[in-house]
Amino acid sequence: MLLAAAAGNAVSIFDVEGGNLREGRKISSASETTATCAVWNHNNRILASAFANGLLSINTLTAREPSLCNLQEGSSPDKRINAVQFSAGSRYLISGGADRVVRFWDLKHQQLKHVFPECSSSIQTLAFTGQSDEHVVAGSEAGVVYLYTQNGMQSNVLQVDGETSPVQFLQSSPHPFVRDKVGAVYGSGSLRVWDAATASVISSFEHLHWAPATSLAFSPVSKNLVATAGLDKRIVFCDIAQKKEMNCLEGPYPITSISLYSNGHSLATGTSTGHILLYDMRRTAKPLSVHVIDAQKPESVNFLQFGSSLDKVRSMDDPYSRPKMKKHHSFSMQGMQSSLQHLATPKELSTSSSLPSSPLVPPVLSDARPTTNQSHDHAPSTKLDTSTQQWLQRELETMKQALSDEIANVHLEVLRQHQAQQTEMTKALQDVTKQLQAIIAENKRLHDENDRLRNVF
């Protein structure tokens, strides 16, 4: 499994195996400014990194030669980016920070698509929400959660009276049937789970932490389980359906960020002292391993995130698909442009990979059938045939991966449409019920009026 951590002036990428962290490449800004955030796209092919000077970089890691593209150049501290987030299919990216605006990027065309209306204070955290990522939520330093549509229109404000502490982190539920659930933790130590569709609080845990809460993570395997972390060194597990605390894990250092892996039991925590701790929730409350990012100059881990398990499983079958883990490398734009152009819809991706083209079948295949009489003359052809088979195997693996991505996305889209239809049906039934109640009330009023008139006359 892969883990990215933004700490100090760099984003570090780790390979996690057997509870141990093996550090690989590092991504840093030329001006040696603080790394604030690092997020994976849906299949671990691209990593988005943000820095305190406003630099927003997109790093492609799947090619043999890693590449880099800067969507926004670093200019000044007042352009600090605090949060970035990919949409479900990685077509879009949102960013926000000290300048109080949310920027909506189109990665396929490598351009800024929308700049949302300015918030009242700096943006601390961002997330996509809704059945098909139709909304964007932004948590501000003033304790207000803003809800936007994808075209940049502000649709609602999620706020509790009396809450003025910063929204430190928010996350949308990863489960298809509850994608409208948004969890938010505050500087007051509180946790609130919002329903973005109705702008109402589903569950609230006031002062869950006695110090500022800093991060949260929805369980990938249970739609009602949420883990929160804070500077009080505690990780608290809550059941938002039963509205009660389930468990508590005490850590050795103040916690600044947490991430749950897709298996539901691997937990990573980043601390204010520059440590990364790995836990297996099935075994013990003690960490499996403790890693210091920079022992000479320990700095806070501002953000960490596990990568998806999808590419890790496939990389076991195809060694060429494993991201290259290099400490330092010079980047080029060409690989990034070709990768971003393939970030279209999964349908376009699979269609383009299935179209026949002349490079798909190399000319050597027609000569790769040695006859019995000429087997001695074509001895080098055996090696050529072997290399060709390896090349074809890689092409087939690429096509299989694209097809599998499409199937997974189609399945997810079906689930989302089903949930959307359920929501529409529920709203329609509620409207019909209200109308029926109004008719019954009107009928009762007329009946009472009729009885009164009978008594009068």
Q: CATH number, domain at 223?
A: 2.130.10.10
Q: Assess if residue 84 is contained within a domain.
A: yes
Q: Of residues 257 and 328, which shows the higher confidence score? A: 257
Number of domains making up the chain: 2
Q: Assess if residue 76 is contained within a domain.
A: yes
**Which pLDDT does position 194 carry in this prediction?**
93
CB 58 within 8 A of CB 86: no
Q: In sequence order, what E strands does 31-132 have?
A: 35-40, 46-51, 56-60, 67-72, 81-86, 92-97, 102-106, 111-115, 123-129
Percent of the chain as helix, strand, coil, to the nearest 5: 25, 35, 40
| Amino acid code (one letter) for 78 | D
Same domain, 430 and 312: no
Report field, pTM of the whole predicted structure over 0.75: no
Q: Assess if residue 327 is contained within a domain.
A: no
Q: Which of 46, 81, 72 is nearest to 61 (CA)?
A: 46
Q: Assess if residue 312 is contained within a domain.
A: yes
Same domain, 303 and 407: no
Distance (Å, whole) CA 52 – CA 194: 29
Compute the average pLDDT of residues 275-287.
Answer: 87
Same domain, 422 and 317: no
Same domain, 309 and 380: no
Same domain, 292 and 361: no
Q: Assess if residue 455 is contained within a domain.
A: yes
Q: Assess if residue 81 is contained within a domain.
A: yes
**Which pLDDT does position 66 carry in this prediction?**
61
Q: What percent of the chain has pLDDT over 90?
A: 41
Q: Assess if residue 187 is contained within a domain.
A: yes
73-77, 132-136, 436-440: range with lowest mean pLDDT: 73-77
378, pLDDT greater than 60 = no
Q: Of residues 383 and 249, which shows the higher confidence score? A: 249
Burial 153-177 (b: 16+ CB within 10 A, else e): eeebebbbeebebbbbbbbbbbbbe
Residue 311: which pLDDT band, with cuts at 50, 70 and 90?
Answer: very low
Same domain, 182 and 278: yes
Distance (Å, whole) CA 178 – CA 147: 17
Same domain, 74 and 38: yes
**Which pLDDT does position 64 carry in this prediction?**
59
The pLDDT mean for the chain works out to 81
**Which pLDDT does position 331 carry in this prediction?**
36
372, pLDDT greater than 80 = no
Compute the average pLDDT of residues 192-212.
Answer: 93
Segment 217-261, tens digit of pLDDT: 999 988 899 999 999 999 999 999 999 999 999 999 999 999 999
Q: Which of 168, 146, 164, 166 is nearest to 156 (CA)?
A: 146
Same domain, 264 and 363: no
Same domain, 40 and 90: yes
113-122, 252-261, 317-326: range with lowest mean pLDDT: 317-326
Residue-number span of the structural domain to which 456 is assigned:
346-457
Q: Assess if residue 333 is contained within a domain.
A: no
DSSP symbols for 236-247: EEEETTTTEEEE
Query: Both tokens of residue 182?
Result: 């948004």
Same domain, 164 and 295: yes
Compute the average pLDDT of residues 184-207.
Answer: 93
Q: What percent of the chain has pLDDT over 70?
A: 81
Query: Both tokens of residue 217?
Result: 């993570």
**Which pLDDT does position 183 carry in this prediction?**
95
Segment 92-113, tens digit of pLDDT: 999 999 999 999 999 888 889 9
Considering just the CA atoms, what is the radius of gyration of the chain in Å?
Answer: 26
Same domain, 397 and 315: no
Same domain, 212 and 95: yes
